Amino acid sequence: MITLKEVHSKKDLKAFVKFPFKLYKDSEYWVPPIISQEIKTFDKKENPVFNDAEVRLFLAYKNNEIVGRIAAITNWLEIKGQNLKKMRFGWFDFIDDLEVSKTLLNKVIEIGKDKNLEFIEGPVGFSNLDKVGVMTEGFESIAPMVTWYNYPYYVKHYEAASFKIEKSYSESKFPFKNVKPEFFYKAQELIKRRYQLKALKLTKTEEVMPYADKMFDLFNDSYASLSSFVAINDVQKEYFKKKFISFVNPEYIKFVVDKDDKMIGFAIVMPAFSKALKKINGKLFPFGFRHIMHAKKHSKDVIFYLIGIHPDYQNKGVHAVIFNEYYETFKEKGIETCFRTPELEDNIAIHQIWKHFQPEVYKRRKTFRKDIT
């Protein structure tokens, strides 16, 4: 028999966060989160998403052992702002037992019905900057820190619960040697002259910060047309600056501005932390921080986390300016492989940007949906 327990105490929250450490202890491809950061994600005093969202966390027990977990998420910005009556769920992990996954999903459905919502979708996080999707291909490659990993059996649990595919994502990679400057060098010089643009040279985190709000505003503008996009508000900007910027080498953040210093394009690339995270196994102290800093400075793999171009400048070659900047930086750093985070497969524009680098899709993932009315 499966029993559910809602998380209320610090002890239970820690158990919720640490359950995957047991589930994936023998996996060479799962990457553990930093436990302290994961706990802060669910702290209403730390994470401003709770100003506009609710979350209820549940643990599933069988024979007095934790066998599954799920987060039931209600994003009121999405529901009221887009009139999208959706119940989200994420952080969904479970042993290969259909009764466990069904019990957890049924709890989310119950909550969604109580709130008069129409369907549930997951796995997703609170916002567009959170992890997304259950992996359907690419199980035998290490997961980037910005994605979830799961066993292949997860998919059959969604199918058994009569869920349908809602969105499809792909993750790709390409060797840096595929990046040929002739594809963008002349074009970027022409683009800069034609539109009076310039790329900013940043070497310190404090140089990045004055532009960070403009970057998030541009993120909102450039991604607004994508399905179920929820804009980042001012309070969340401050949170994401604190959470992410310190992990990024300042020279891996590229801004393109016009003659009036208005931001036209941006990109954020992160060093690949996965190997370091596996070494520290969720703990920054006493020695984990050292491994993280080493990866930040010396990783030969990088992850393209975000790239955005102002709608007025899309399809005008601004991405060539950004790529030229990265080419010079990566050549100096000796970068070997470039990875891309999950991108919607119907986002044709973003796929066109990368086509010259001959990217290889190495993972695919989906979100699943079920009507509950």
Closest CA to 169 of 227, 242, 90: 227
Quick: pLDDT tens for 104-125: 999 999 999 999 999 999 999 9
Whether residue 93 contacts residue 19, with contact meaning beta carbons closer than 8 Å, is answered with yes
Regarding the domain with residue range 175-363, which homologous superfamily does it belong to in the CATH classification?
A: Gcn5-related N-acetyltransferase (GNAT) (3.40.630.30)
Lowest mean pLDDT among 150-159, 197-206, 332-341, 349-358: 349-358
Quote the percentage of the chain above a pLDDT of 90.
72
Assess whether pLDDT exceeds 70 at residue 227: no
Tell me whether domains 2-170 and 175-363 share a fold. Answer: yes
Q: What is the topology classification, in CATH, of domain 2-170?
A: Aminopeptidase (3.40.630)
Name residue 318's amino acid. V
For the chain, the domains span 2-170, 175-363
What pTM was computed for the model?
0.92
Whether residue 144 contacts residue 341, with contact meaning beta carbons closer than 8 Å, is answered with yes
Closest CA to 322 of 218, 193, 199, 173: 199
Whole-number pLDDT of residue 287: 83
- The larger pLDDT score, comparing residue 240 to residue 326, is at 326
Quick: pLDDT tens for 185-220: 999 999 999 999 999 988 998 899 889 899 999 998
Whole-number pLDDT of residue 300: 96
